[in-house]
Structure 1
Amino acid sequence: MSWLKKILILCLIGLVVAILGVAAAYWYVKDDLPDVRQLQDVRLQTPMRVFTADGELMSQFGEQRRIPLTLDQMPPQLIEAFLATEDSRFYDHPGFDVIGMMRAAIVVASTRDATQGASTITQQLARNFFLTREKKIIRKIKEIFLAVKIERVLSKDEILELYLNKIELGHRAFGVGAAAQVYFGKTVDELTLDEIAIIAGLPQAPSVLNPVRSPTNARNRRNIVLGRMLTMNYITEQEYREALQAPVISRRHGAQITASAPYVAEMVRQQVVDMYGEDFAYSAGLQVHTTVSKPIQDAARRAVQQNLYDYDERHGYRGPEAKLWQQDDEEGQDAWPESELLRYLAEQSSLEDLLHAVVLATEEQTAQVLMADGQHITLPWEGLKWARSFISDHRQGHAPRQATDILQPGMHIRVRHNGEHWQLSQVPAASSAFVAMDPNTGAIQALVGGFSFAQSQFNRATQAKRQVGSTIKPFIYSAALEHGYTLASIVNDAPIHHWDQGAGIAWRPRNSPAVYDGPIRVREALAKSKNVVSVRLMRGVGLDETIAHLRNFGFAEQDLPRNETLSLGSASLTPLELANGYAVFANGGYLVDPYVIDRIYNEEGELIYQHQPRIACPKCQQETAEQPAELDSEAQLAQLFAALDAGQESSDSTALPAAPRVLSEQNAFLIREALKTSIWGGGNWNRGTGWNGTAWRAQSLQRRDLSGKTGTTNDSKDTWFAGFNRQLVGISWVGFDDANRSLGRATWNANLGRDQSSGLEAGARTALPAWISFMQVAMQDMPADPAETPSGISSVRIDAETGLLSRANDHTSMFEFFMRGTEPSQHAQPGSPSFSFDDEVPDTELLELFD
């Protein structure tokens, strides 16, 4: 009994010491313990997500990848895997596990190995939110006290839900939702048992146990997790064995992007960061909805890429990426084994739809190649015959006759599937950009800043100021209409020789091509893009007056050269700036503001930002600053414009902020009409007087409501097409990033016949095809605009040659639009041309004209 008493006394003393020790420890650390009640209102850092107007995910930005889930959204097996591995008595302990701590202590005492932890899920949660990972006794004491406090504040399910969303699982994935996406490209409910076990094994050491970095470590850890699940009776013996046999297949996945618009996404990222700062933008779970729709954006991207492929193929094949072996000489090398080729191809990074391949053999007009996925494919002659050799931007080699003229075994090449067959390809050397916007609101409908964002993040649609060439002419002609000219005015299309006294040289602007028609009506001159007429019109208006007029379209004065080259397109603008200028013609004279962010929601789904566009709407009143308008985004705008198009009043029309009018409705209408002639031409083909405008290829769209203008700069360094109707403006640009490099010319390729275009690269040949391809999709369900003539416009019959009034009713006459009061007052005399030049023409030029 004495021994029993001694044991009881020792136990009591030990208990008292333990209580005092715990009390002392708590007293020591209590001032350093944070208030765990903040976990009741915790906000997990979630990335910013960017969506298209139709709800497709465009991109996401943030240091931490997280997909918050409720416990109900997680598969039971996933929860059981974490409980079996991390805390099997989670629902029984008060926040710390005495049994687990004793087991860890025994391991430390027997092996002196302190790697085995005894932290419960609640302790891990405390550490993740409030503490560091430093291995010190004081940190462990704080962790236990915090765990107990957490258990008093939150329920077990709330603790587990926070833990599974907070835990770091490698590759910037935080929480099980993000881990499922990053490692397997799946949602949690799509995970298999073996994948669940891999994720549940990550918390111990995510950097070395993840399946991307070390499949072997991940497999070993997975098997341990599966064993614990079997021991806990969470899975059956059969499930256990099947999961053990599953291979570890994983790669790093990005966000589940469903709409490819990286240039737009980057624009949005920059704007949101400017609005809210980086910390809030990247971690507050913002949901940003843009004005871009997936089908329209896809059409723009495909149009740009295919157009660059077409340009590249016109100019020839620049050769393979590399030659792995060569067998055509006396010291021929042995071909690589297929296993080595597959390892080599696996190391190559793909770009857009261009895939890596190695040529294995060539026959007469086919080539056998090995793809990175191990597939053997045949390149048919249809996919090879374009590939004559590239010599320079202006020269190409002879058309190939057989596959060996192009390819040899051992060549590392790029191929793509064009929808019909595989074909040899290459990364385009030229660059391009495309912008489409709603001219009535400024909403950007589609934007492509280059061939591939992965290749270059430089956004040519918004950052590249390039000379605009003849796309400036509608603005020059618009200024002329403001200063007394009409579409029927006759201007002398003849060479100009202007002596520059200061420079001691003569300036001789020329037409391209160098064809001069003599006296020509303004409408026809614009449609045929006559350079010298543009110069004469600007002279008639005056340089200062012309620049002042161009500023009304939103162009910065510093981008407008103060000399006569301005009339030929020496101004440098971005495609977006040019689109905004053309929107003034499209919408009837209003300057709108381009925008891409429509609205922003916070993590709780509350609207925190709604863009208020200034509308091109003559019936809308501008709101005062004290009473800003409130719009219901695109739905309300669509309803408004439908009512306005029907001639009805809208209850919202007086509440919308109106864009400023910068051009008369009549001037905008006349330029629109003149630019329709750029597409459809004029004259009478049956009488031999028919002629085409520079944009005649756009006739393939079979729409009479389209207006457009081509543009080409000196030496074809920049090529443009700007086209629009009242609902959509599209700008296409093609050029090299090196502004000094010419797009050159393509000679005839006998292998391609009618399937190709040869000659000097220009706006009509190089930029217009992308615009046509885009419009074929974008305008598919868009009804044609009715041909409405605004008030203040009259239509009279004129003589096609002189621009004067005509009494004839045949091919020599036509109807022309005029601003009321500017109609010609004289009639043309039959058989005797009567020219009325609207600028002073030196006699020497008249002699040249009629010589």
Structure 2
Amino acid sequence: MSLRKKILISASIAVGFTALATGGIVFVLTTANFNPAKVDQGATSPTIVYDRFGHVAFTINPSGTRRVNLSQIPKMLQDALIATEDIRFYQNHGFDLRSTFRSLVQDILHRGSLQGASTITEQLAKMVYLTDNQSIKYKIQEIILGVELSRYYTKNQILDMYFNTANFNGATPGIENAAQIYFQKNVWQLNLPQCALLAGLPQAPTQYDPFLHPHAAMARRNIVLGQLLKYHFISQATYAKAIQSPLDLAKNPGAVADGVPPQYASYRDYLYEEANKIGIGARALQQGGYKIYTNLSPQLQMAAYQQFNNNAYFPPNMNGNVAQGGAAFLDPKTGGLLAIMSSRPSTYQYEGFDYATQTQRSPGSSIKPLVVYGPAIDTGKYNANSLLYDGPLNIGGYQPQDWESHPTINQHVTMRDALAMSWNIPAVWLLQQIGISTGLTFAERAGLHFQPQDFLHLDVALGDIHPGTNPLQMAEAYTSFDNNGQRIPAHAIERIVNAQGLTVYQAQSVPIQVMKPSTASQIVGLLQNNVVNGIAHLAGVAGRHVAGKTGSVAFLPPGYTYSPGDSDLWFCGFTPNVVGSIWEGFPNTSLQAYIPNWVGGSALPAELFSAIMTQGLSGTPAGSFTTPVNTSSTAPLMTLTGLTGSYSATQNGISLSWNPLNGSVYYLVFRGGPSDRNLYYNRSIGKTTSPSYVDPIHVLGGHTYQVVAFNALTDHEIAVSPEIEVQITPSSFAGSGTTTPGSGTTTSGSGTTTPGSGTTTPGSGTTTPGSGTTTPGSGTTTSSSGPTSTVIPGTSTPVAPPAASLKPPPQGE
């Protein structure tokens, strides 16, 4: 809205209501929303929440609001509210001209939205009739409705309705509920400091919640006491004594007054948040008689609640404070929120800080599939068996290090092993190869958010992102792996039906294509390998397929040369039917707010995930991961090229050689005959670290060979050669020259052996005593199949750059 238009509207409001207040002009103020009976409805209808199976899960505010009469509310509490919110309450006619005009001037000068200056009557009107909107249009309606209420009700009636309608703590409306929750007292039993505390809450119930923010609550209470002193409701001596009083809160800060069972408290909170975005506020949910159909899984929610209450998964820091946590679990095929934990049950607060949706923390290595490996595979240039550089790396002064000082002498590692062991250098190197923009754009499609500076540094590969992320975002991002590359935004509510039986909301699930289905399939295979063979093995669930990735963020306080522990621990994983993300840590990373190294690191959330899934999915079908048509969940092995062989009399057997692979590699050689061509993997004849091998065999006929390369650090297969066949014939032993007795010289000729002290028996492949040497014979080598370069079978796309080119980029690039 332009400044000129705002001035004109503001002037009109000021002039019009000045005339109204002085009686000079008669205004007929009406609005279609006004129903005088609506503001004082004594009876309320509870809202019923249904789970994903259509069964009643819980009822919100089943007993209604605890109403009290104005006569039961202490006079000092009434005075505190008036002194703080509307000092001219008994003199104005529902709106305060002086405050309204002052607010208009401030908003014009600062070009902001119209806010503040609401009388107690206007606040009541807004709570009953309007949404929380600060536009001038709504301010006009608020003023009109305030005037209307003043015409229908006395000041005491308005004050009575305000105290029974306003949210003083957020969980349920009404001053009596707030008194019970914060002090475990009836409102008429409150003393002056307690009355001042409650009177200061309606402006921002969560911000000033004394359980969550005691210092802010204390400061707000003292402001209210100051207002009482300013307007002469209390004396200086009474004020001085009151501000010295402690908050004196109830002993059970987790008490909730709306009747929701404690295991559903976190889910209820998220439901409130989602309903508010839809346009249904907390008060309407508590009293409006809605039926809300959700994606809640009661069994999984109970499992999460109970396991989050187990201190074994949440170790204390060096000061003895127990770690905090948050978690979210989704249906990957629908995006439905199955379960959520906003905090540990022992520290839960209604509308308190939600560690599942509000925390902004580094995800550590759990981001690697989203920023590095998924995007790399999606380019079509890499797969699970691609060799990645794993040596010393210096990129413009940035030198990534691996956990536990992982040695980089091997120089190369497969993507499968790099991800399974969560090594950092290969991830940083690979992100540099594909480009930071490629990696982060992929992750943005998966639902993560980044700042411009994130596109400038490679340590985003290790989770250094701004402002950070939370369990719900990470769970939603991982659903794209478990749903053929598609992400469906997370949501708790499927449908809302009002008290008249009309459907007022229906969720619309629109999938977002994050990656190719084949990419998702390969990532599922990689992440399954993490759980079966990698450092995430503690996340396994008996009888179920599980895939996932751990994450941790080392805590390095100033002055330390080593990390004593972790500030953040993560596990993000999934079964075929459920995706979950768990974070553990401390709200603030002070010198002592870290999880010590000795307690288990990222194994903790992995174990917690296993415990929740084991309990929460018990009795449900295990399912299996979906593999898209014409793809494989495991990427094909690389081709080991250059395998040749021939009989060598000098080496007394068949000599094999092949093109070497760089890095820490060993090779197994397999041999089979015409009748057992498929038994190579059961008939290894030798192991070597060099690219050659001699098989001491002399049996005439054809012999087939295959060589398989393995990573020496993990024993995982890297590459496999095509089969070859080597023939041994009589001429293989005869050679192309003659062996003479005595001197051991060989003359070129017909290939016959001159009589001497030693004879060669055809077919046996052995030479009896004699000093002659045998020239290599005529054995031939035939290649049975396979390409001569490293490619994905069936394509011409290189699997990875040639091993010789896998070297760190120059410094400064």
| TM-score, structure 2 normalization | 0.49
Which has a greater percent of helix?
1
